[in-house]
């Protein structure tokens, strides 16, 4: 497995996104654990989760608990796995997503996440989404305090625009290690953030890198160029999408979601797929 770095720490070039194992349409626990184990078998050492990946109001942290269980029950060494979680987004249980970026809320949420993950300090904690009711600097200021106090080892942000990336980097005193924004063949609006992360040397984690849970199945039909390049290489179009994202910048670390072992096994192989410069240009223009 090819590696990339987040804040100087080596991680697999392809991570695992945990969300499909805990929200609408999720599989049973056994299939989820098998999916996490398949990721580890494939050499994945970055797992993305969030306290908000759950369905019902009384199961906050469902996905964090699954990830912790998957790591605990894996027969091999998992000490090099970076679990990246997030706080500041909530699911009240009616299907909606709400926000709470208040410093006092984030400081309590992080403690609950650490407990569920079974760690003293969280490897990478990401502020999930700006809260329009709280000044961005206040929310990121809480993340800085968590770093200073050793509650988290590394700090990231998500769903941020270029101004917020620069503001966070300033507030964190240059310690911002990652930005997680939506990016896929279908949704390319985060190109300015990707460019800025490349310039600043900050990891860029495309979320929904395959177009999202409900769109991933139509990848080949919606994006013919990716299917054509896949046929040329004899691989799945999913691998071509992920290899294309990796080729866009050395700071990119895609986190494809999976709820089946076969999905993440196939996606992880994208780290070994080499596209030519012509293919990358053709896919970027598609
Ligand atoms: N920061 C944010 O606001 C935010 C928002 C959304 C998502 N995220 C993160 O980003 C991660 C990825 O996004 P996502 O899960 O929404 O969407 P995605 O990665 O674009 O698509 C996930 C879906 O693609 C399918 N899939 C993945 N690899 C495949 C393969 N090689 N072959 C066939 N099917 C494949 C999976 O199917 P199966 O389920 O059948 O395995 C899964 O349901 C999430 O899990 C989450 O960690 C973050």
The continuous run of DSSP H or E covering 176 comes out as: strand 176-182
Region 7-12: what's the mean pLDDT? 97
| pLDDT in the model for residue 1 | 86
Index of the ligand 1 atom closest to the CA of residue 158: 1
| Range 97-119 average pLDDT | 98
Does 17 sit in the ligand 1 pocket, CB within 6 Å? yes
Per-residue pLDDT tens for 131-176?
999 999 999 999 999 999 999 999 999 999 999 999 999 999 999 9
What are the C-alpha distances in Å from 36 to residues 61, 96, 162, 206? 16, 26, 33, 19
Residues 45-94: tens digit of each pLDDT = 999 999 999 999 999 999 999 999 999 999 999 999 999 999 999 999 99
Q: Is the CB of 53 under 6 A from ligand 1?
A: no
Annotation marks residue 105 as catalytic: no
Model pLDDT, residue 74 = 98
pLDDT tier for residue 27 given thresholds of 50, 70 and 90: very high
Atom number in ligand 1 closest to CA 207 = 10
Contacts of residue 60, Cβ cutoff 8 Å, sequence gap at least 6? 51, 52, 54, 90, 91, 112
**Residue with CA nearest ligand 1 atom 43:** 213
CA distance 186 to 25: 22
- Measured in angstroms, how far is the CA atom of residue 135 from the centroid of ligand 1? 30
Summary mean pLDDT of the chain: 97
**Ligand 1 pocket, residue 15 CB under 6 Å:** no
| pLDDT bracket for residue 102 (50, 70, 90) | very high
Output the pLDDT for position 219.
85
pLDDT(238) > 90: yes
The catalytic position among 53, 125, 136, 238 is: 53
Determine the distance separating the centroid of ligand 1 and the alpha carbon of 150, expressed in angstroms.
31
* pLDDT over threshold 90, residue 256: yes
Task: Give the chain's end-to-end CA distance (angstroms, integer).
Answer: 28
Average pLDDT for 230-255: 98
Percent of the chain clearing pLDDT 90 (strictly above): 97
């Amino acid at each position: 497995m090819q590696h990339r770095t987040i804040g100087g720490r080596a991680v697999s070039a392809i991570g695992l996104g945990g969300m499909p194992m805990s929200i609408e349409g999720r599989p049973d626990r056994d299939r989820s654990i098998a999916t996490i184990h398949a990721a580890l078998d494939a050499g994945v050492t970055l797992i993305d989760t969030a306290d908000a990946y759950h369905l019902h109001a009384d199961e906050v942290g469902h996905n964090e608990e699954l990830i912790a269980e998957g790591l605990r029950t894996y027969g091999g060494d998992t000490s090099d796995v970076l679990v990246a979680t997030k706080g500041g987004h909530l699911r009240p249980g009616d299907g909606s997503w709400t926000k709470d970026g208040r410093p006092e809320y984030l400081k309590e949420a992080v403690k609950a996440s650490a407990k569920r993950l079974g760690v003293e300090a969280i490897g990478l904690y990401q502020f999930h989404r700006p809260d329009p009711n709280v000044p961005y600097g206040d929310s990121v200021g809480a993340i800085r305090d968590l770093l200073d106090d050793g509650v988290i080892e590394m700090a990231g942000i998500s769903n941020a625009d270029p101004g917020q990336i620069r503001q966070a980097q300033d507030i964190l005193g240059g310690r911002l290690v990652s930005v997680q924004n939506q990016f896929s063949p279908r949704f390319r609006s985060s190109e300015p953030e990707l460019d800025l992360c490349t310039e600043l040397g900050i990891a860029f984690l495309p979320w929904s890198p395959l177009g999202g849970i409900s769109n991933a199945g139509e990848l080949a039909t919606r994006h013919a160029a990716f299917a054509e390049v896949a046929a040329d290489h004899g691989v799945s179009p999913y691998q071509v999408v992920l290899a294309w994202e990796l080729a866009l910048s050395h700071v990119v670390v895609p986190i494809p979601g999976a709820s089946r072992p076969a999905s993440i096994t196939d996606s992880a192989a994208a780290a070994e797929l080499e596209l030519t410069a012509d293919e990358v240009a053709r896919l970027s223009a598609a």
